[in-house]
Amino acid sequence: RAKESGRNSYHLYSEILHHELNQRMELMKRLRNAVEHDKLRVYYQPKVDMQSRRIIGAEALVRWQESDGQIIGPDQFIPIAEDTGLIIPISEFVLKTACKQLAAWHTLGFTELTMAVNLSGKQLQSPGLIEHIMEVVNESGIPPNKLELELTEQVFIENIQSHTNFMHAVRDRGIALAIDDFGIGYSSLSYLKHFPVTALKIDRSFVQDLPNDKDDATLTQTIINLAKSLEIDLVAEGVETEAQVDFLLDRDCSVGQGYLFSRPIPAHEFTQLLDDYQGQIPIQIM
């Protein structure tokens, strides 16, 4: 009997694997089709100076919009895009779209706005990446120092020589370089001094339970101190409440991003936000 149920559970297991594999293949096919048929969209989330409530920049966040209007978030397809190499055309599209959009906002008079674009570690292995980025930047006409590239902590920790070379090439051209999701990766912080980083983005898991969670309060304070002593800019991710704003402002962390100010939105809505309030988000409507 035991043998029998063992065989059955093996059978069940392989069936599940088979099913998952099929689903993955299906998703891959759909994603490739989406890339080829212009189903990708770029949404923008404002980065806000929390004291003045001014929008100082945007982060470009990719979406996949199905023909029926359904929006699929990046967490559901970036991993598979990395495995299949589709990350390359996807990233090219996001970078081009975001740089053009920033140029348009600069033309409208919002000349100080910056644009952040996420890069995945996988991309850093593709040769000629920095040249490609500069081509896109130059074509769009934006000043390189208004572009910021975001890399997750993992990429820094891997400490691969080509990554380090890439980061220096980025800084040499005046492009800003941020560590995304900071604090959730590793405990060793010594790597920070080896990289030409211009900003840390405090992961939203720390911000979420502020100000009440003592541990998160301590950790956030520590990250703030670290950034200050290294003279690196700070952005708090996932700001959702006024109490979080108060906590962060009290500790001299002035830039935030989160649903309190706005969710990621299509370009025309972002333009509306800029137009309506001249880039200033009034407290009362939020």
Contact footprint for ligand C2E (CB under 6 A): 45, 61-62, 73-75, 78, 91, 94, 118-120, 150, 180-181, 204, 238-240, 257-259, 264
Q: Distance between CA atoms of 37 and 268, rounded to whole angstroms?
A: 21
Of 169, 164, 221, the C-alpha closest to 194 is 164
Confirm or reject binding of residue 180 to Mg ion (CB under 5 A): yes
Residue 191, contacted partner among ligand C2E, Mg ion, none, CB below 5-8 A by kind: none
Confirm or reject binding of residue 181 to Mg ion (CB under 5 A): yes
45, 91, 118, 244: which one contacts Mg ion (CB under 5 A)?
Answer: 118
> Which positions ≥6 away from 171 have C-beta within 8 Å?
177, 196, 198
Q: Distance between CA atoms of 226 and 186, rounded to whole angstroms?
A: 15
User: Closest CB to ligand C2E among 93 and 191?
Assistant: 93
Give the single-character DSSP code of 119.
-
User: Closest CB to ligand C2E among 111 and 157?
Assistant: 157
User: Which listed range, 80-88, 144-152, 205-213, 239-247, lies at the site for Mg ion (CB under 5 A)?
Assistant: 144-152
Of 6, 56, 59, 16, the C-alpha closest to 264 is 59
CA atoms within 13 A on the CB side of 170: 25
Backbone phi, then psi, for 284, in 5-degree steps?
Answer: -65, -30
Closest-by-Cβ residue to ligand C2E is 258
Confirm or reject binding of residue 150 to Mg ion (CB under 5 A): yes
Q: CB 118 → ligand C2E: shortest distance, Å?
A: 4
Binding site for Mg ion (CB under 5 A): 118, 150, 180-181, 237
